[in-house]
């Protein structure tokens, strides 16, 4: 087992990995930009190293600085978390060249599965169904338009490299396509340094279902069942849950087998996710391979809650050479879990990002509720990084129990100082279509206007949470505790 792990990330995922290391008796090194000098993940680690100024390119994406930090702290492994360099094959290779274990898949596997074109071909060879599509060798606008005509409209333009929805453009006609091609190419070049595009048949309003896989160095591969990720805005997930309401046991088994086959064909090692588009429901449904994420996912906690496997610890054990301790038959799902991503943004105003100090931040302590966060009260939410503040994971014996628990937890989570999307999350949790489990990837866009009107009209959940925190004003106020003004308020109404 490793003696010391450097976590090449920040925020909640850095803290999550540090906690997993501590449970395994491994010393930890946090890295940080000057903006994150007092961040929670820095305070929690055994050691910390400043790797540069706030811009990510000069700090969290600075490979020489990260390798130097590992050298001076004598770390023997690096965990990349998610985002930043987690799916960068050059970083994975550089770790190996410098005598460090990269806690993730081999660099050549990241290269193959990071290319949508190569991953698609590999999936086809592994027997997984793929969405009809085509990549033109000649990347002119005319050649891409010809490919789209052969695939048939409507189509989806996708960059060959990268992910996160960047550069993806839908086109329902040729004029739309000719406008979208240069936009998609520009975005792909800016984000990934590669403007190669491929054309895929657009499946209208599918469901997005992904399967978590683990693979060890001994050649064993298992899946840990599915996560439903259909509630998205701009191709970014907002709410995830498991199990999916759309899957039957036999469909689940077929999709799980396909996920394992793809991972095995890739020579995969460590944790990864096979993403599928699901068209239809139940036994009549069709599923198609979408892509593979060669890292730990943001939404991994719901799998942990339902399957009972610590995925971060499993990553570390696999990287250290340990075999998987269970077979596929020994893994099962129990209960239901829902994850809400709490963002520093204003959904009522076009998801405008927010920054500032968390003047009040009180995570709920409730049965069946887990909070993964990289912030505490008084911390600064920076303009430089992803606006994710926390992940709220609610579990229950049934889906409805998990949903009700999630509602109760959100309304008991006061966050003041910046605007957040908690109001939107409450609206979604209580929406009739979500309650019925009848959502798809177009759900949030279709409901955007009505949700915006309600968000502008309703009192924010933060106000309700603070009211609950203050308590019934007809009773005597609690004695003051330290300098906490919320424990000494008298006769205050919001």
- CATH no. for residue 239? 3.30.470.20
Is position 119 within any domain?
no
pLDDT band, very low/low/confident/very high, at 470 (cuts 50, 70, 90): low
Pair (284, 307) in one structural domain: yes
Percent of the chain topping pLDDT 70? 92
User: Residue 251 domain-assigned?
Assistant: yes
Residue 459 is given by DSSP the state P
**Do 29 and 165 fall into the same domain?**
no
Looking at residue 233, its pLDDT comes to: 85
Is there a domain that residue 488 lies in? no
Confidence check: pLDDT of 293 > 70? yes
User: Three-state SS for 160?
Assistant: coil
Q: Is residue 470, in this structure, part of any structural domain at all? A: no
Same domain, 179 and 256: no
Q: Are residues 426 and 311 in the same domain?
A: yes
Domain membership of residue 149 as a residue range? 132-201
Shared domain for 161 and 292, answered yes or no, is no
CA dist., res. 383 & res. 133, Å (int): 38
Q: Which of 348, 347, 358 is nearest to 417 (CA)?
A: 358
Cβ contact 344:11 at 8 Å:
no
Nearest Cα neighbor of 462 from 486, 433, 443 is 486
**Do 178 and 218 sit in the same domain of this protein?**
no
Q: Average pLDDT of 77-100?
A: 97
Q: Is residue 2 scored above 70 in pLDDT?
A: yes
Question: Are residues 304 and 413 part of one domain?
Answer: yes
Q: β-pairing, 155-159 with 169-171?
A: antiparallel
d(CA 428, CA 445): 12
In terms of domains, do 146 and 259 share one? Answer: no
Strands 77-79 and 4-7: what pairing?
parallel
Q: Are residues 300 and 392 in the same domain?
A: yes
Q: Provide the CA 149 distance to its chain's centre, in angstroms.
A: 34
What CATH number did the domain enclosing 89 receive? 3.40.50.20
Q: Which residue has the tokens 């203050």?
A: 470
pLDDT for 476: 40
**What average pLDDT is seen over the chain?**
91
Q: Which of 393, 396, 400 shows the shortest CA–CA distance to 434?
A: 400
Give the confidence band of 460 by pLDDT, cuts at 50, 70, 90: low
Domain count, the chain: 3
The catalytic residues are 295
How many Cβ atoms sit within 10 Å of the Cβ of residue 183? 12
* Over residues 46-57, mean pLDDT: 97
The helix/strand/coil state of 315 is helix
Per-residue pLDDT, 300:
98
> Between helices 422-429 and 461-470, what is the axis angle to 10°?
100
Residue 290 lies in a domain: yes
Domain boundary among 103, 119, 151: 103
In the block, residue with structure tokens 């060249």: 97
Token pair in block for residue 362: 């009180």
Would residue 348 count as lying in a domain?
yes
- 31 inside domain: yes
CA distance 248 to 209: 13
Instruction: Tell me phi and psi for residue 110, to 5 degrees.
Output: -60, -40
130-165 residue pLDDT tens: 988 888 889 999 999 999 999 999 999 988 876 667
pTM for the structure as a whole: 0.86
pLDDT at 198: 86
Instruction: Band the pLDDT of 481: cuts 50, 70, 90.
Output: very low
- Which residues, at least 6 apart from 5, have a Cβ–Cβ distance to it below 8 Å? 17, 21, 26, 27, 28, 29, 75, 76, 77, 78, 79, 103, 316
pLDDT at 458 over 70: no
Half-sphere exposure of 160 (CA within 13 A, CB side): 18
Phi, psi of 468 (to 5 degrees): -65, -35
At 341-385, the pLDDT tens digits run: 999 999 988 899 999 999 999 999 999 999 999 999 999 999 999
- Give the helix/strand (H/E) hosting 380: strand 380-381
Provide the CATH number for the domain around residue 172. 3.30.1490.20
58-67, 107-116, 449-458 — which is least confidently predicted? 449-458
Under 8 Å between Cβ of 33 and 41: no
Residues 374 and 282 in one domain: yes
**Coil, strand, or helix at residue 384?**
coil
- DSSP per residue over 151-214, as a string? H-SSEEEEESB--TTTT-EEESSHHHHHHHHHHHHHHHHHHHS---EEEEE--SS-EEEEEEEE
Name the 3-class secondary structure at 329: helix
pLDDT digits (tens, 9 = 90+) for 192-209: 888 999 898 898 889 999
Verify that 154 and 262 share a domain, yes or no. Answer: no
> In the predicted model, what is the mean pLDDT of residues 230-237?
88
Domain-embedded: residue 76: yes
- Three-class SS state of 326: coil
213 and 79 within one domain: no
Query: Alpha carbon 419 to chain centroid distance?
Result: 21
Per-residue model confidence (pLDDT) at position 125: 96
Average pLDDT value for residue range 108-120: 92
Among candidate residues 174, 201, 228, the one where a domain is terminated = 201
């Amino acid at each position: 087992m490793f003696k010391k792990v450097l976590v090449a990330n920040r925020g909640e995922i850095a803290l999550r990995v540090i906690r997993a290391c501590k449970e395994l008796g491994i010393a930890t090194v946090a890295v940080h930009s000057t903006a994150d000098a007092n961040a929670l993940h820095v305070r929690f680690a055994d050691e910390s190293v400043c790797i540069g100024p706030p811009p990510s390119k000069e700090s969290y994406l600075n490979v020489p600085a990260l390798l130097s930090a590992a050298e001076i702290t004598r770390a023997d492994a690096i965990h990349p978390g998610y985002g930043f360099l987690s799916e960068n094959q050059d970083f994975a290779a550089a770790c190996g060249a410098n005598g460090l274990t990269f806690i993730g898949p081999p660099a050549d596997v990241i290269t193959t599965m990071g290319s949508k074109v190569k991953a698609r071909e590999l999936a086809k060879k592994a027997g997984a169904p793929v969405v009809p599509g085509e990549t033109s060798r000649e990347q002119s606008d005319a050649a891409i338009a010809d490919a789209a005509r052969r695939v048939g409209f409507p189509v989806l333009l996708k960059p060959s490299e990268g992910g996160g929805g960047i550069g993806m453009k839908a086109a329902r006609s040729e004029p739309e396509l000719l406008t979208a091609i240069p936009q998609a190419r520009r975005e792909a070049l800016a984000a990934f340094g590669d403007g190669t595009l491929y054309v895929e048949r657009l499946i209208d309003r599918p469901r997005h279902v992904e399967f978590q896989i683990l693979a060890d160095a001994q050649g064993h591969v298992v899946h840990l069942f599915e996560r439903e990720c259909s509630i998205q805005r701009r191709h970014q997930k907002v709410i995830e849950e498991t199990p999916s309401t759309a899957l039957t046991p036999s469909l689940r088994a077929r999709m799980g087998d396909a996920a394992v086959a793809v991972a095995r064909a890739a020579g995969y090692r460590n944790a990864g996710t096979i993403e599928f588009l699901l068209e239809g429901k139940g036994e009549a449904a069709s599923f198609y391979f979408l892509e593979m994420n060669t890292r730990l996912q943001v939404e991994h906690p719901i799998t942990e809650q339902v399957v009972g496997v610590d995925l971060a610890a499993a990553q570390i054990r696999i990287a250290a050479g340990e075999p998987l301790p269970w077979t596929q038959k020994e893994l099962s799902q129990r209960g239901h879990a829902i994850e809400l991503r709490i963002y520093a943004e204003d959904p009522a105003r076009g998801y405008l990002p927010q920054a500032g100090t968390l003047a009040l931040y009180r995570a709920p302590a409730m049965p069946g509720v887990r909070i993964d966060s990289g912030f505490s009260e008084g911390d600064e939410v920076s303009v430089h990084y992803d606006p994710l503040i926390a992940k709220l994971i609610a579990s229950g014996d049934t889906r409805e129990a998990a949903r009700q628990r999630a509602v109760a937890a959100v309304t008991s989570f006061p966050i003041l100082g910046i605007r957040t999307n908690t109001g939107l999350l409450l609206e979604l949790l209580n929406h009739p279509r979500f309650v019925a489990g009848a959502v798809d990837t177009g759900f949030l866009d279709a409901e955007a206007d009505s949700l915006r009107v309600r968000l502008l009209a309703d009192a924010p959940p933060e106000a309700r949470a603070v009211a609950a925190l203050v308590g019934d004003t007809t009773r005597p106020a609690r004695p003051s505790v330290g300098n906490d003004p919320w424990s000494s308020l008298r006769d205050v109404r919001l």
